Amino acid sequence: MWYLINNIISGDSSPAIKKFSVAIKSYSILIILKNNMYYAMNMECPHAGKSLLNGTCSEADEIVCPFHNFKFNMKNGACTNNNEGYRLKIFPTKVENNQFYIFIEA
C-alpha cells in the first residue's frame, strides 16, 4: 500500500541532495532527493547491515555505502561494483498533489 510521508516536499530547491529517514512497518527507510528525483531505499546495507544514512551519492545515481564502499543503483538496488549478488531493497515512490508517497508491500 502507499504511505503518505509528510514534510518531504518543502518547495525550496536549495541543496542538490537531501536525505530523510522514516520508519514504516519494520523498515527503516532512507529517502534521497537528488536533482528533483526521489529515491527510497532500505537504510540497511545488504552487505553487512550497516546504515546507509551517511553514504554519498555518485554522479551515476548510486548510493555509496560509507563502510566498505559498495555502490548500489538507487533505482533498482543492484550492486554496481561487486558481483556477489548484493541487492539493496528499493521502494517505489510517487508525488501526487504535492504529497510524497512510498509503496510498501502489504
Sequence-distant (6+) residues with CB within 8 A of 5 are 20, 22, 31, 100, 101, 102
Task: Report how far residue 63's alpha carbon sits from residue 56's, in angstroms, rounded to the nearest whole number.
Answer: 6
Q: Among positive and negative, which fits the CA dihedral 57, 62, 63, 69?
A: negative
Comparison of 88 and 102: residue with beta carbon closer to ligand FES: 88
The binder of ligand FES chosen from 18, 19, 34, 47 (CB under 6 A): 47
Per rule CB under 6 A, count of chain residues that contact ligand FES:
8
Instruction: Give min distance, CB of 50 to ligand FES, in A.
Output: 4
Burial (CB < 10 A; 0-12, 13-18, 19+), residue 59, is exposed
The binder of ligand FES chosen from 37, 68, 92, 103 (CB under 6 A): 68
Q: Which stretch binds ligand FES (CB under 6 A): 21-29, 32-40, 43-51, 95-103?
A: 43-51
Q: Which residues bind ligand FES (CB under 6 A)?
A: 45, 47-48, 50, 65, 67-68, 70
